[in-house]
Structure 1
Amino acid sequence: MLELSRVLNSTNGVLLSKSDEAIFTGVSTDSRKIRKDELFFALYGSNFDGHDFVLEALEKGAKGAVIERPLFLIPNGKVLIKVPSTLESLGDLASTWRRSFVNLRLAAITGSNGKTTTKEMASNILSLKFSVLKNTGNFNNLIGLPLTLLKLREGHNAAVVELGMNDFGEIRRLSEIAAPDIGAITNIGRAHLEKLGGIEGVVRAKAELVEGFTENKTFVTNMDDPWVKKIGEPIKCHKISFGIDTPQTYISAKDIETVEFSAVRFRMIVGGDKLPIRIRGIGLHNVMNALCAAGIAIAFGCNTDEIQAGLERFIPAYMRLEVMDTSFGFKIINDTYNANPDSMRRGVEELVRLKGSGRAIAVLGDMLELGMASEAEHRSLGEFLCDSKVDLVIAYGKQGEHVLEVLRGRAKGILAETHEEAAENLIKLAKEGDLVLIKGSRGMQMEKVIQRLFKE
C-alpha cells in the first residue's frame, strides 16, 4: 500500500486535486491493465503518450494519476499529481519504496550475455532460503525495474534483478533505484554498439553498476573476462571470484560434459568443496552463468547444498537455446529471444557441437543496434559460419546480404525476404536428422519462422 504523502515526498510532486490522505494499492503504467485504486503513471515515448489515457485509467478504477501536463477535467474523488518527469518520478518512488525494506538484500546483474539465465539460476537457489522477488520478462529497464521493485511486500527478504541498457547512464540510474548490496557483471561483449561506440564504451556503461560500491558491498567477478576483471580492480569492496580458465578463483568448474540435448554436467569447486552439478538445457556457456549464480548465492549466505539443489531446479527460459522436435524430422534450437555478435557465435558453436551425423543449418536474422559496425560484424559472422563448417545458412533482414557475400563459393546461403519465405526454404531443404539454429535480435521476431513450422 502506498500513501499519498509517500508519493508526494518521493517525487516532489504537486497535488492538483483536493484530497484527503489517499492509499494506493499499487502502481501501473498501462491503462489497459489498471486495477482498482492503483496509481497510474502517464509515461510517454516516441510512439505513445500516457496522458492520452489518463481519463480512461481513472474511469477503470485508478484512484489517481501522476502527470507532467495538467488536465482540464479532474474527476471527483480522484488524485492528480504533477511532476517534471513521470519516468524520473516512477524511479524515485521505487527507490524510496525499496529503501524502506531495510532488512532486504538485493543483487543486481548486468552483462552483455547471460543476465536472464544467471538471474533465474540465482533466484532458484535463493528461494530455498529466502522469500525472493525477481523481475520477469523484459522488466529490466527504467520502466520495468521500478515496477518490479514496487511489488516488494513485507514478506520479501531477498531480491535478484537484471539490469539492461543500450546507452550510457542507464545502468547508473538503475543502480541508484535498486540500491544493490551485491553486483555481478556476467561478461562484456559487442552489444549496443550503436550508442556505446565500441567495446570500451560497453565496459564504461556496464561498470556503472559498481562505481559506487564500498566495503559493505559485494562484487561477484568473472575473472575469465579481462574487461570485468579490469572493472573490479579499483573497486574497494568484498569480491567473490569465479572462472574456468583462471587459476585460484573461489568458484570454478571442471569435468564439463553434455548429456545430449538435455543437460550439462560438471564439478563445481567452491573454496575447497567439490559438488556435482547438473543443469537442464544445452549451452556450455551456461556453466559460467551457474558459477556466477553460485557467487551471488554465497554472498547471500547460502551453502553448497542449497547451491546444488537450486541449480538442479533451474529450467531454461523460453526462446533461449530451447531444443524442439518438428514434424519434419529435424530438430530446432530456438534461440530467438535476442542476438549480438558474441551470442551468435555461442549459438553457432552449440549447433555444430550437437549436430551429430546430420547437417548444421542456421536461420539467422539481423543483429541490431550495432551502428557503424553493423556491416563489419555481419561479415565477420559470415566468416565464423564458414570456419565453423555450417552446411546451410538462411539469412533474413537487411544485413543478411553481407553475411551471404562472405559465404559465396564456400557454403550454401539463401536470403529470405520474409519469415514465411525463410520457413518455406527450411521445410524444403532440411532433412531428417538435421539440426537447425534459429536466432536473431529481438526486433527481427525470428520466432515467427518457428510459428510457421508448427502451423497446422
Structure 2
Amino acid sequence: MPDPHAALPFAATVHPQARPAARLTWDSREAGPDVAFAALPGEKMHGNRFVEAALDAGAPFVLTDLDVPRAVRVPDAWAALKAWAQTERAKNRQVVGITGSAGKTTAKAYAAAALDAHFMPVFNTQPAIACFLIECGASDRPLVVEMGIDRPGEMAELVELVRPDVGVVTAIGPAHLEQLGSVENIAREKGEILRGVRGLVGAQAAPFYPGAESFGFGAVTHAGQDLKVTPQGATFTFDGVEVGLPLAARVQAEAAVLGLTLAREAGLDLPAAAARLAQVSVPGGRYRVHAGRFTVIDDAYNASPVAVSAALNALHALPGRRISVLGRMLELGDTERQLHAEVGQEARARADLTYGVGAFAAELGERAHATVPELTDALLAEVQDGDVVLVKASRGISWTAERRAQEGVGLDVVVDALLQWRDSAK
C-alpha cells in the first residue's frame, strides 16, 4: 500500500491530509478515493494539468511539485517515482521480467499463475511498471513484470528500474523497426534483460541467444512433452505432470512450460501449479477463442510478423474452413510492404480463405478490401457454420476511428461484429 507518511527514499514535503492509497496511477482518469495520482511529464502535456481533477476525484495523495492539498511535494515526480519503485522492489524475493517481440502478455499471465505471483496489468510502460512495483514490491509473493520497448536504450532503463532476478525473452522478430532499425538490433536490445541474471528464452528466440537456456517443446533445455492441440485446447506433460489448457494453442502451451519451469525451480508443487495454469484467462484480443456456430479467434490486440505467424500456425491446426482476416502491422519501417507480403504468403498457405484490409490489403489476403467497414460487410456475408475465423492487426490506438477504418487497423470492431451477428442470427 503506497503510504506517503512512511519512510520515503526521496526528499518530500508531505501535506498533513495526504493518506495511504490502495493503488497508485500515472493516469488521472483512474484516480479516486483509493487511487493516488503521480503527475508525470508526458509527450504532449504534464500531469500537473490534471492534479485538480485527481484531487476532486478523491485521490488520497498526489505526487507533484505543486503546492496543493494532499500533495507529496517533490522537485521531480518521475525521479521520485523511480526511487520509490526501486526501494519497494528491493523488498521482494523474486522478480521475473518478460520481454519479446510477441507473446509477452501471454507469458506473463502463465508465469504468474504457475508462481502464484502478482503480475503487471495491461500497460507495460515505465510509469506503469513503477506504480506496480510501489504497490506490490513488498509482498511476500513473487512479481512478474512485462517489459516492452520501442526505442534503443529503453531495455537498459527498464532493467535498472525492475532489476529482475529472472529475465525472459519470448520471441524475436520485426517490430518497432522505425526506431530499432533491424531484427539484430531488436535481439540485442531485448537481450539486455538476460545480462547477469537467470535467463530463459523461448524456442523461437533461442537462435538469437546461443548458450542461453530455452523453454518450449522439442529441442530445448526445458521441454514439455506430447503436445496436442485441438479446438478444445492444448494438453501436454511436464516433468510427469499432465497439463490441460482450455481454448489454448501452442503459444499458450509454451508460456505454460515457462511457468512450470519457474515453479519447479522455486520448489513449488507442480500439480498445483498446473491446476492454476488451467484457470488462466488472458485479456481480450490476445488469442481469445470464442466458440459457437462458427469460431472466432480474437487476436486483434496488436500484430507483428512473428505474432501473426504464430497465430496462423494455431489457426492451421484447427478443423473446419479456416479464414484469416489480417490488417496492417505498424512500425515496420522501410520494409513494411515486403513484410506484409511475406505474412500474406504464409496466410495463403495456412488458411483456406484469406482477407486483407487497408494499405496492404492485397499483400495480406486474396480478398482485399480498402476499409474496415467494407471488409466487415463482406466477411459477414461469407462466414458459415463450422468456420474458424482468425482476426489480427495492429491497433492504431491513438488514431481516430475513421483513420483506423481507412488504414486497416483496430480490428476489434470486426470481432465484435462477427460475434454480434453470430449470436443474434437464428
Q: When the two structures are superposed, what TM-score results if normalisation uses the length of structure 2?
A: 0.86
CA drift at 1:59? 3.5
Q: 2:75 aligns with which of 83, 86, 103?
A: 83
Structure 1 residue matching 2:173: 3-state secondary structure: coil
Match of 2:367 in 1: 413
Match of 1:145 in 2: 129
Structure 1 residue matching 2:231: 3-state secondary structure: coil
Match of 2:399 in 1: none
Match of 1:342 in 2: 306
Q: Aligned residue pairs: how many?
A: 407
Match of 1:312 in 2: 278
Q: Which runs of 5+ in 2 are unaligned?
A: 397-408
Q: Is the 8 A contact 2:26 2:128 kept in 1?
A: no
Structure 1 residue matching 2:145: 3-state secondary structure: strand
Aligned equivalents of 2:354 and 2:391: distance in 1?
Answer: 10
CA drift at 1:262? 1.3
CA drift at 1:185? 1.4
Match of 1:61 in 2: 58
Aligned equivalents of 1:38 and 1:280: distance in 2?
Answer: 34
The alpha-carbon distance between structure 1 residues 224 and 209, as it changes in their structure 2 partners (threshold 3 A), is same
Match of 1:286 in 2: 252
Aligned equivalents of 1:223 and 1:229: distance in 2?
Answer: 10
Match of 1:387 in 2: 349
CA drift at 1:422? 1.8
Q: Which residue type is aligned with residue 3 of structure 1?
A: P
The alpha-carbon distance between structure 1 residues 368 and 301, as it changes in their structure 2 partners (threshold 3 A), is same
Match of 1:125 in 2: 114
What is the 5 A alignment of 1:367-382?
367-382=329-344
Q: Is the 8 A contact 2:327 2:364 kept in 1?
A: no
The alpha-carbon distance between structure 1 residues 307 and 28, as it changes in their structure 2 partners (threshold 3 A), is closer
The alpha-carbon distance between structure 1 residues 59 and 253, as it changes in their structure 2 partners (threshold 3 A), is closer
Q: Which residue type is aligned with residue 424 of structure 1?
A: D
What is the 5 A alignment of 1:11-410?
15=13, 19=15, 23-25=19-21, 26-36=23-33, 39-62=36-59, 64-67=61-64, 74-75=67-68, 77-79=69-71, 81-84=73-76, 86-99=77-90, 101=91, 103-127=92-116, 132-138=117-123, 140-152=124-136, 155-211=139-195, 213=196, 217-222=197-202, 225-230=205-210, 241-246=214-219, 249=221, 251-258=222-229, 260-268=230-238, 270=239, 274-325=240-291, 329-356=293-320, 359-388=321-350, 390-404=351-365
Q: Summarize deviations over 1:398-448 as a string: whole Å, max 9, x none.
A: 2324435xxxxxxx3121413x32221111122232221111113222111
Q: Is the 8 A contact 2:137 2:143 kept in 1?
A: no
Q: Summarize deviations over 1:86-110 as a string: whole Å, max 9, x none.
A: 33432222112222x2x53211111
The alpha-carbon distance between structure 1 residues 302 and 403, as it changes in their structure 2 partners (threshold 3 A), is same
Q: Summarize deviations over 1:6-65 as a string: whole Å, max 9, x none.
A: 44x43x56x4xx856965435332333323486532224334432211222234334543
Aligned equivalents of 1:209 and 1:290: distance in 2?
Answer: 20
Q: When the two structures are superposed, what TM-score results if normalisation uses the length of structure 1?
A: 0.80
Q: Bigger radius of gyration, 1 or 2?
A: 1
Q: Which residue type is aligned with residue 118 of structure 2?
A: L
CA RMSD of aligned residues (A): 2.7
Q: Is the 8 A contact 1:218 1:299 kept in 2?
A: no
CA drift at 1:81? 2.3
Aligned equivalents of 2:159 and 2:265: distance in 1?
Answer: 18
The alpha-carbon distance between structure 1 residues 282 and 21, as it changes in their structure 2 partners (threshold 3 A), is closer
Identity value in percent: 27
Q: Which residue type is aligned with residue 96 of structure 1?
A: T
Q: Is the 8 A contact 1:3 1:21 kept in 2?
A: no
Match of 1:236 in 2: none
Q: Which runs of 5+ in 1 are unaligned?
A: 234-239, 405-411
Q: Which residue type is aligned with residue 125 of structure 1?
A: A
Q: Is the 8 A contact 2:98 2:170 kept in 1?
A: yes
CA drift at 1:293? 1.5
Q: Which residue type is aligned with residue 223 of structure 2?
A: S
Aligned equivalents of 2:144 and 2:332: distance in 1?
Answer: 29
